[in-house]
Chains A and B, each alone.
Chain A
C-alpha cells in the first residue's frame, strides 16, 4: 500500500527554467508534508514543509503547493540551477495518529542541464 506516490521517476529541465515535482497521497490523516533532497552518498536533506492548514509555503527559490481536495502536492523550483540536480523525496506524516514517523514517496531524479 503505497500511501505517498511520486509518479515521475525522473525530470530533466534547463538551467534557469522552472522545475515542478509532483506528489500524490492517499491517506487523509496526513497533516504535514515535507520535501527532502538527496545527493548520492549523503542522507536526505530537509528542503521545505507545509502544514495541511495551508495551501502554499515559500522559501527562496522553493515553493510547495498543497491541494488537499486532490490529495496532491507539488514542489516548484525557480530558477533551476545545476546544483539542484538530485533525488527529491516527498514525505508525509500524520501527527495526530502516528506521531512523527515519515512516509516517503519513491523519489524523483531531477537533472538540471546547464
Chain B
C-alpha cells in the first residue's frame, strides 16, 4: 500500500512567483495536514483539512492557502513567494483528524531565490 506521496520532491522558484504543492494521502485517509519545516527547526503547522473542509489554520499569512479534493488529495498554494518561504513542506494524512495516526510524506523541498 502506497504511503503519503508528495510532488514535486524539489522545486526552485523566484521571489514573487507562486507555487502549488501536491499531496496524495494513504488510501482511506480522509484528513490531510500541511507543515513547514525550516532548516534547523521543527515542523510548523500550516493547515488541516478533513472531509474537504478546513479544520485548522496555523499562524501563516494569507499568501498560504490550501484545499482538499473529493478524492482527499490536497494542494498547498503559496503566492508572492519570499526568500523566507524556502523550507521543506510536509504533508501528513490520517484516518480521522486525530494526531495519533499521522503518517508523513517525504516532503517537497522548496527553494526561493
Q: Which residue of B lies closest to A104 (CB)?
A: B42
Contact count A vs B, C-beta below 8 Å = 66
The minimal Cβ–Cβ distance linking A87 to chain B, given in whole angstroms, is: 9
Chain B residues near A42: list those with CB within 8 A: 106
**Would A89 and B43 count as touching, CB distance under 8 A?**
yes
Taken residue by residue from 72 to 114, chain A's Cβ proximity to chain B (1 for < 8 Å, 0 otherwise) reads as: 0000000000000000010101010011111111110000000
Number of B residues near A (Cβ < 8 Å) is 27
Interface residues of A (CB under 8 A from B): 4, 6, 32, 34, 36, 41-46, 49, 89, 91, 93, 95, 98-107
A91-B99, A100-B102 are known; give 18 further A-B pairs, CB within 8 A: A4-B42, A34-B100, A36-B104, A41-B106, A43-B107, A49-B100, A89-B42, A95-B99, A100-B56, A100-B97, A100-B99, A101-B45, A101-B48, A101-B58, A102-B43, A102-B99, A102-B102, A105-B42
